[in-house]
Amino acid sequence: MVDAAMQSGTHDRECVFEAFSRRLPPSRRYGVVAGTGRLLELIDQYRFGDEELGWLRENSVVAPATLDWLANYRFSGTIHGYREGELYFPGSPILVLDAPFAEGVVLETLILSVLNYDSAVASAAARMASAAVGRPLAEMGSRRANEHAAVAAARAAFIAGFDATSNLEAGRHWGVPTMGTAAHAFTLLHDSEEAAFRAQIDALGVGTTLLVDTFDVRAAIDLAVSIAGPQLGAVRLDSGDLPSLVREVRAQLDDLGAVNTKITVTNDLDEYTIAALAASPVDSYGVGTSVVTGSGTPASGMVYKLVAHRNDAGEWVSVAKKSEGKVSVGGRKRPLRRIGANGRATAEVIQIIGEDHSPRHGAQARRSTQAPDAGATPRERDLLVPLMVDGVADERYLGTAGTALARKHRAAAVAELPEAAFRLSRGDPVLPTQYE
């Protein structure tokens, strides 16, 4: 597309692109925007180096003039979007990009790959966090994702309400709290379970978490408490009928005087099994496969569409796709979250702006940087904020500080939702999308 547009002379037309999702996955009542901080870093670093250009040249993918253009590529446009951690609904324009056509279209795959995956993980993780009703959650799914997605998933889960990750790179790069427990291999390495427990306690202290289901759970708990004493930090269960097993383990620990020893469970958990354990004396959860795969929805279904551009006369024109089942809404938009008098959100309102498609940098953008708060009267909250202006990203949304800010914003945005949003049964989005 870049090559053809350059040859036709349309590559530098001013354009407005928009990323949005036409619908939410089945049973999801809301989505969580994640990946924005990662995406801003990646756009800033997006380059075509000698190796990439050489491959394109050798395989005659694009014309020489396009190769020269790619060699000098630096994104110089402006991006507005929903804050990372914000909630989204069908049609929500979560990312709005203003740039010449070629600059904007070449980023399509990067934008969608980041937002589709990270938001899918965050949306699933948010459901798990609500099902856990305040009990800590650890992300432990790196072995079920590729090496890059594992880090992204840990970050997205943390933004959505998880408390820690077993992925150390996510801790190093993004500031996600890290944790871990021993695997069965550590127990099997030693000549006996007792030797394994003693080695772990000698290295990490009695506050460590011992894995107690390698052989016989009841015998392992007796052994663990006899070695560590009643101050043993925690035991981990990774198999069995968890609701009944947790109750038995809690009773055994209490009988041994280890009343403060916590129980953490793993074993292929998802939001449904976590909810089923709500009445059990579980202290924390470790979730792997389900969270890094979006709990059955590994992509959010987001698309990236051209919604407006200048024509040959220099006039702005709204454009939209008309295909059956894939109709889009053209034109620049101003999305608002309508909040009722009780402080609960009631609608996603998307205002269609007229023929003035110039990027917004004024009071509207400044107002929208405010975090959600409960109001005494009905109101509307602006959702778009400036993320990148003239190719320069807003540093507030980058790195460890940006990740922490996204987590804080997600908690505030979720607090606005009505109670129906947290049902795990199939149903429509909890907020209707209204175009005005």
pLDDT value of position 367: 43
Q: Strands 209-211 and 234-237, how do they pair?
A: parallel
Sign for the pseudo-dihedral over CA of 120, 126, 129, 133 = negative
State the pTM of this model.
Answer: 0.93
Given this model, what pLDDT does residue 358 score? 64
**291, 316 contact by CB (below 8 A):** no
- Phi and psi dihedrals of 117, rounded to 5? -75, -55
Sequence letter at residue 142: S
pLDDT means over runs of 10, the chain (436 residues): 96 97 92 98 97 97 97 97 98 98 98 98 98 97 95 98 98 97 96 98 97 97 98 96 96 98 96 96 98 96 96 94 86 96 96 71 43 63 98 98 98 97 93 95
Q: What per-residue confidence (pLDDT) applies to 357? A: 59
Report the distance separating Cα 249 and Cα 265, nearest Å: 11
Contacts of 130 by beta carbon, 8 Å cutoff, 6+ apart: 161, 271, 414, 422
- Structural domains for the chain: 2-122+297-435 (3.20.140.10), 181-282 (3.20.20.70)
Task: Report how far Cα 258 is from the mean position of its chain's Cα atoms.
Answer: 37
Taking a C-beta distance cutoff of 8 angstroms, is the pair 98, 14 a contact? Answer: yes
Q: Which amino acid is at 119?
A: S
Name the CA radius of gyration of the chain, rounded: 25
DSSP string, 136-169: -EEE--GGGS-HHHHHHHHHHHHHTT--EES-HH
Predicted confidence at residue 323, as pLDDT, reads 84
Instruction: Give φ, ψ of 306 to 5 degrees.
Output: -80, 125
Residue pair 291/157 in contact (Cβ under 8 Å)? The answer is yes
3-state secondary structure (DSSP) of residue 22: coil
Under DSSP, is residue 198 helix (H, G, I), strand (E, B) or coil?
helix
State which H helix or E strand residue 110 sits in: helix 108-131
pLDDT at residue 365 in the model = 43
Q: Among candidates 100, 55, 236, 88, which has minimal Cα distance to 160?
A: 88
Question: What is the pLDDT at residue 356?
Answer: 62
E runs forming strands in 129-261:
137-139, 164-165, 209-211, 234-237
Distance CA 70, CA 340 (A): 49
Quick one: pLDDT at residue 363? Answer: 41
Q: What are phi and psi of 299, to 5 degrees?
A: -140, 150
